[in-house]
Amino acid sequence: MRKPFIAGNWKMNTDRRGAVGLATGLAQELRDIETVDIAVCPPFVYLDAVAGALNSSNIALGAQDVYFEPNGAFTGEISCAMLKDVGCTYAIVGHSERRHKIGETDELINKKISAAISSGLLPILCVGELLEQRQADKTEAVVTTQIKAGLAGLHSDKVLAVTVAYEPVWAIGTGVTATAEQAQEVHAMIRGLLADMYDQSVAGQIRIQYGGSAKPANTAELMACGDVDGLLVGGASLKVDDFAAMIKTVA
Ligand code: PEP
């Protein structure tokens, strides 16, 4: 049985005060939730402050990215050890905004996934097709390539550390959500792919989140799909009431 996992991606939003306030409000609102794994991913510079606000709560801390090298001359980058040092459990890797706006490649994403797992971080590997790729019937091909490349070289004992987030790019931050049928179709395809790459047992244990304009109003419908194990939430994770309502719906 896969425990639902809901994570909030705050992107490049909040300031120190807002980040601490959001974390404090969520910790208070969600203190009784035991049946859902919860994480928030603030901007790097507020991780430490948010870690303090989440102290001894049931909400884990995640980063929005990580670099694969352990240390050295990599100006602007943040290592796995640094993230662990400030209390991170998770790291988002390969978010579509990093793939398409910053230019991250599958090869780089694979290095980040491997480094995160080796250091004990739990990576959330984001995959998903652009609108034109969906319209050209390329969703399966695109997502398959991203997953095979992202997980290249990882054996089954390591891959169990990964959460996959299926995030159709056309649904991220647009207010357009994939229908439950569209989400389930791709999630089931991803699980089948993981079974081919590893085995049924591994595929049955890996959690697959949906992301793309998830909000309180569509949470129940998305989470009712057999292969949707959680949500990666952007905009709606910036409001205590909305994010808490989604988690309570799932719980
Ligand atoms: C995201 O940032 O991963 C995301 C899904 O954003 P939104 O919920 O705002 O579409």
Q: What is the pLDDT of residues 131-162, one digit of tens each?
A: 999 999 999 999 999 999 999 999 999 999 99
pLDDT above 90 covers a percentage of the chain that reads 97
Name 59's Cβ contacts closer than 8 Å, sequence gap at least 6.
23, 26, 27, 30, 38, 39, 40
Q: Rounded to the nearest whole angstrom, what is the distance from the C-alpha of residue 46 to the centroid of ligand 1?
A: 19
Angle between helices 139-150 and 180-197 (to 10 degrees): 40
Q: Which of 5, 9, 95, 127 to mutate to test the pocket of ligand 1 (most atoms within 8 A of CB)?
A: 9
User: Does residue 64 have a pLDDT over 90?
Assistant: yes
**Closest alpha carbon to 235 in 207, 216, 209, 208:** 216
In Å, what is the CA distance from 28 to each residue of 31, 54, 128, 129, 209?
A: 5, 9, 33, 36, 24
The pLDDT, as a whole number, for residue 228 is 98
**Closest alpha carbon to 13 in 47, 43, 40:** 43
Structural tokens at position 47 = 């991780």
Structural tokens at position 232 = 């990666």
Q: Catalytic residues, which ones?
A: 95, 167
CA dihedral for 35, 174, 171, 106, sign (positive or negative):
negative
Give strand pairing partners of 90: 62, 122
Q: Rounded to the nearest whole angstrom, what is the distance from the C-alpha of residue 168 to the centroid of ligand 1?
A: 10
Please work out whether the CB of residue 212 comes within 6 Å of at least one atom of ligand 1: yes
Q: What angle do CA 115, 120, 124 make, to 5 degrees?
A: 70
Ligand 1 atom with the shortest distance to the CA of 167: 5
Mean pLDDT score of the chain: 97
Q: What angle do CA 80, 67, 187 make, to 5 degrees?
A: 90
For residues 194-206, average pLDDT: 98
The pLDDT, as a whole number, for residue 1 is 80
Ligand 1 atom with the shortest distance to the CA of 9: 2
CB 154 within 8 A of CB 114: yes
The pLDDT, as a whole number, for residue 98 is 98
Q: Rounded to the nearest whole angstrom, what is the distance from the C-alpha of residue 211 to the centroid of ligand 1?
A: 6
The pLDDT tens digits for 24-58 are 999 999 999 999 999 999 999 999 999 999 999 99
Name 103's Cβ contacts closer than 8 Å, sequence gap at least 6.
none
**Number of other CB atoms surrounding residue 63 within 10 Å:** 26
